[in-house]
Structure 1
Amino acid sequence: MLARIYQPARTAMQSGQAKTHVWLLEFVPEQAKRIDPLMGWTGSGDMNRQVTLRFDSKDAAVTYAERHGIAYRIEEPKPRKHILRRAGYGDNFASNRRNAWTH
């Protein structure tokens, strides 16, 4: 049973960094999902797929995995490139704007 320790990325619907500072421990699926022939639902017999543990730091997640004898793989987060504008969002609607408004 292999676990993956990672820091989640922000969703496409959020602009801030909320819920991205925790570290998650999830188990890698051991079985492929299968489709029920009657209803068409997707299911699996792998119960560890439902387990997600949250930790405040990467070290806490690694300590937990080692204490319980769980093999793990750490996925480091990619650094985010920050986009900083001179005046921020309000600059999009300034009356002295030089570029055309593209929205």
Structure 2
Amino acid sequence: MAARIYQNPRNAMQSGRALSDRWMLQFEPSEARKPDPLTGWAGSGDTQRQVELAFDSCDAAKAYADKHAIDYVIIPTPEKKLKLQAYADNFR
């Protein structure tokens, strides 16, 4: 069983920083999704795909994974790039 540990990203529609400091542990899919012949919806028998665990820090997520013998990969948080511009720049 493998998992990803990453910091919860901010929503594109969100200007605040609420819940962006949480770390998530999400299990890697163990089987591919396949279309249902009757409805055409994609699905699989993998129930671990539905599980997401939230932690207050990266160390807490790592400790949980180590305690339960879960292999994990830590995805680093990308740098925050600010694009500073004035309203007047739209008219140049």
TM-score band, normalised by shorter chain: 0.7 to 0.9
Q: Deviation of residue 8 (structure 1)?
A: 2.0
| Unpaired runs of at least 5, structure 2 | none
Distance 1:50 1:60 in 2: 21
| Unpaired runs of at least 5, structure 1 | 86-90, 93-98
Distance 1:72 1:100 in 2: 45
Query: How many residue pairs end up in the alignment?
Result: 91
TM-score, normalization: structure 1?
Answer: 0.79
TM-score, normalization: structure 2?
Answer: 0.87
Is the radius of gyration larger for structure 1 or structure 2?
1
Which residue in the other structure is 2:64 paired with? 64
Which residue in the other structure is 2:26 paired with? 26
Q: Deviation of residue 83 (structure 1)?
A: 4.1
Q: Deviation of residue 10 (structure 1)?
A: 1.1
1:84–1:31 Cα change, 3 Å: same
Which residue in the other structure is 2:77 paired with? 77
